[in-house]
Chains A and B, each alone.
Chain A
Amino acid sequence: MANPTFQMIHGMLYGNGIRFGQLSGLGRIIAAMSGRYPDHVPFQGPQMHDHAMTIARVPARKFYWEADVLVDVHLAVARWYGFDSNTITFDVYNLEVEALGAKMIYSDNAMPTVDVSDPLIKSPADLEKYGPLDPSRGRIPYGIEVAKQFTEKAPGPFAGGLFCSPWSLLCQAMGYPPAVRAMKRDKGYMQALFDWAENQAIWPYMAALREQGIKNAMGADAWAAFPNLTPDLVDEWIIPSSIRMRQRGKKELGMTVSAGAVAGDYCEEDPAKFDKQIMFDCWDVVAKTFPLKLAASAMGRTQDWDMNWLYEFATRSGKKIPIMGALNGRFVRDSSPEQIIDIIREWIDIMGRDGRFLMMIGNIPADSPPVNIHTAVEATQILGRYPIADDLSSIEVQPPGFEPFDEWLEGQPEEETILKAREWKSLDRKVFV
C-alpha cells in the first residue's frame, strides 16, 4: 500500500477501531494523531541532518548543496533506523539571508553558518538595500529542489518545503541581541523588520516553491523558543506573523505556509528552574503554530521533565490531544542504551496507555552513537505495543543488534548517490553566493 492517501485512510480507520492489515509508518502516525491506538507507539522521523551526513560519510559540500544527496541520505538513514516517517531538513535558518547577501562561513565538514560578526542588517536604512529575494540566488534553488525531491520520493503530509520564519530570519540577519532590543524597545522598527522578512525575504521563496508545485512549507523558528522569547512576546509578534503568512499563502498561492514552528518550545536547560505554569503557557503557544492540535515537546531538556505535566496539559479539556514526546538529542547522544530504554518505559507508562502518543528525538546530534537511536526505536516498538502491558517493568528490552550502515546500504535505492558523493574532493569546491 504505497499510496500515501491510502496509508492515511488506513491509519484513520485503524486508529478508530477498524483494524485490518499491516500499518505503514505513515498509517501508524495518522492512527495515533487522528484516532487513538495504532499497533504500537509510532516513532516520528526526527530532525537529524548533520547526524545523517555523518552516518552516510558524505561531505558537507555535497550534502548542503546537492538536493539528491541530502534527500537520499535522509531517506536511507531513516529507513536504516526504522523511523515511521521522514523529516528531511538542512540548515534551514540560512538560505534566505545567504541569498540576500549575508556573509557566510562554509566548511567541508559542517553545515554553513551565518557570520554574525558582520550582520546583514545593521540599521533601519539597510532594509532598503536588501530585497526582494531573487530565488535564483545562493542555495534557494537547492531548497526548492529538496522540497521537490522530498515530495516525489517520500510523498505524504510531511513532505514539503522548508524556510526560516521571520523572527529567526531577523536574528540571522542582524544577530539576536539587536533583534530582541528592537522587539522590546522600538516596536515601529520591529514591525518594519517583520514586514521586510515576510515580504522581501520569505515571500519570493514561497512563490518560487509554489511555481514548482510545492503546496506546503514549514518555517522553523528556534529563535522563538523559550527562553529566547517569552510566551508573551511570542503571542505579541510570532503568532500574528504566522497567521498573516498562513492567510496570505492560502489566498495568493493556494499553499499552506506554516511559519513559527517550535516557537514557544520550552527549552529551559536548568531543571531547578522548570515551572509548570510557564511550560503550560509555552505549550499553548506551540499548539497555535501547528496545523493540528498537539501537545508537543521538541528540543527541550525533556529527560528531566515531569511528564505528568505534559499529560495533564494534553488531557485538561477532558479529551486527550495527541502528545509528541521528544527525547532530548544530547540525552540520546550521551546516555547508555539502558538509560534510554528506562525513560521510554516511563514515558509510555505516563503518556501512552490511552493512545494518541508519538515518540521522537528533538534533533539527533552528529556524533550520537547509532546503537542509541536503534535502541530508542526498538524500545518504543516493544514497550509501546497496544494494549500497553500492565507492568512495563516486567518487559525486558535489550539494545538491538544491527547491520552496519555501509553493509545495509548495499543494494538500497540510495546506494549510488551516497557512494558517488563520497568521491568528492575539496578541489571540487564551488562558490555560490
Chain B
Amino acid sequence: MSEKIAEILNAIVEGEEEDAAKLVQDALNEGLPPLEILNQGVVAGISKTGELWKENKYFLPDVIFAADAFKAAMVPLEPKLKEGGDGRPASKYVIGVVEGDMHDLGKSLVIALLQSAGFEVIDLGIDVHKDTFIDAVKDHKPAILGLGAYMSTTMLEMKTIIDELEKKGLREDLKIMVGGVPTSQEFCEEVGADAWGKDAMVTMERALELVGG
C-alpha cells in the first residue's frame, strides 16, 4: 500500500473529513488508480472503523465522524470510478425508513457501507409512504429493498409493505431486508423478509450474500 493510500485510510478512521477529501484528490492527481484508492484506502478505512466499533474501541460518535470522512472522500472519487467502470451494472438497493419514522442515522451508515460494497443505492429518505416503496420497486427493479424503522409503532408498517408487494406480484424477484433498533431476526421472519440487518456492517454482509457477491 502506498503512503498516500495509508494516509487516506487513516483519515477515514480518524474521521478527518477535510483531510480525507484532500488526500483522495491528491492521490488522483498523482495518478493513483481510483479503484485502488477506493478499495485500499476508503473502503479499508470504513472497514477498519467497523472493526474498532466491534472491538469496543470506537463508539457511535467515532463512527459518525468516520462516515462523514467516508462521504467526503467519495466526492472526488465517485466521478472517476464511473469513468473507469468495468461495464458490469451494479446491483440496485432501494432503501427507506417507513412512514411515521424520521430516524435516518442508521440508514446513512448503511448507505455508506452499501455504496462501499459496490451497490447502487436509491435512497427514498425517511417517513416514506408505502406507495412510494411500491413505485420505487416498479421503477428501479432493485435486487434488494431495505426497510428501516426506529420505533416499535412504525416497524409494523414493514409487514404492510411486504404484503402489498406480494399482492402486486412484485415480490418474487426481489429480496427484502429489514433493519433498525426495534427489529429482530424473529421479526424479520414474522414479516416475511429475507434478511435482518442487525447493524450497518451486517446489513452490508447480508446484502452481498443475497446478491451472491
Residues of chain A having any CB pair with chain B under 8 Å:
50, 105, 107, 109-111, 113-117, 176-177, 180-181, 183-184, 226-230, 233, 269-270, 272-273, 275, 278, 329-330, 333-334, 365-367
Contacts and interface: CB of A to CB of B under 8 A. Distances in A.
Contact of A229 (B61, B102, B127, B184): B61
Interface of B: 54-56, 59-61, 64-65, 68, 100-105, 108, 125-127, 151-154, 156, 181-182, 184, 186-187, 198-199
B184 A184 contact: no
Contacts of B199: 269-270
A230 B63 CA distance: 12
Nearest to B186: A334
A254 B154 CA distance: 40
A109 B182 CA distance: 18
Given A116-B126, A184-B61, A269-B199, A334 B102 contact: no
Contacts of B181: 269
A233 B64 CA distance: 15
21 contacts: A109-B153, A110-B153, A113-B101, A113-B151, A114-B102, A116-B102, A116-B104, A117-B104, A117-B125, A177-B64, A180-B61, A183-B61, A184-B65, A226-B59, A227-B60, A273-B55, A275-B56, A329-B152, A330-B184, A333-B152, A366-B153
B127 A230 contact: no
A226 to B, nearest CB: 8
Contacts of B103: 116
Given A110-B153, A183-B61, A330 B182 contact: yes
Contacts of B59: 226-227, 229-230
A180 B102 contact: no
A275 B156 CA distance: 32
Contacts of B55: 273
A117 B151 contact: no
A110 B126 contact: no
A116 B199 CA distance: 21
B152 A278 contact: no
A184 B151 CA distance: 27
A136 B58 CA distance: 43
Contact of B105 (A105, A177, A367): A177
A115 B127 contact: yes
A50 B153 CA distance: 8
A107 B100 contact: yes
Contacts of B151: 110, 113
Nearest to B58: A227
A181 B18 CA distance: 14
A176 B153 contact: no
A278 B56 contact: yes
Nearest to A107: B100
Contacts of B60: 180, 227-229
A272 to B, nearest CB: 8
Nearest to A54: B153
Nearest to B151: A110
Contact of B102 (A50, A105, A181, A333): A105
Contacts of B152: 50, 329-330, 333, 365-367
Given A116-B103, A117-B126, A177-B105, A334 B64 contact: no
Contacts of A233: 61
A184 B60 CA distance: 12
3 tightest Cβ-Cβ pairs between the two chains A and B: A365-B152, A110-B153, A227-B59
Contact of A181 (B65, B100, B156, B182): B65
Contacts of A330: 152, 182, 184
Contacts of A228: 60-61
B182 A365 contact: yes
A113 B102 contact: yes
Given A180-B61, A330-B184, A115 B102 contact: yes
Contact of A230 (B54, B61, B104, B186): B61
Contacts of B56: 273, 275, 278
Contacts of A105: 100, 102, 127
A113 B64 CA distance: 23
B166 to A, nearest CB: 21
Nearest to B61: A180
B185 to A, nearest CB: 10
Contacts of A269: 181, 198-199
A107 B102 CA distance: 13
Nearest to A104: B102
A109 B154 CA distance: 9
A272 B61 CA distance: 20
Contacts of A273: 54-56
Contacts of B127: 105, 115, 117
B153 A111 contact: yes
Nearest to B64: A177
Contacts of A270: 54, 198-199
A375 B186 CA distance: 21
B184 A110 contact: no
Given A180-B64, A181-B64, 20 more contacts: A50-B152, A110-B153, A113-B100, A113-B101, A113-B102, A115-B102, A116-B126, A177-B108, A180-B61, A181-B65, A184-B61, A228-B60, A233-B61, A269-B198, A269-B199, A270-B199, A272-B54, A273-B56, A366-B152, A367-B152
Given A115-B127, A117-B125, A177-B105, A334 B153 contact: no
A55 to B, nearest CB: 13
Contacts of A177: 64, 68, 105, 108
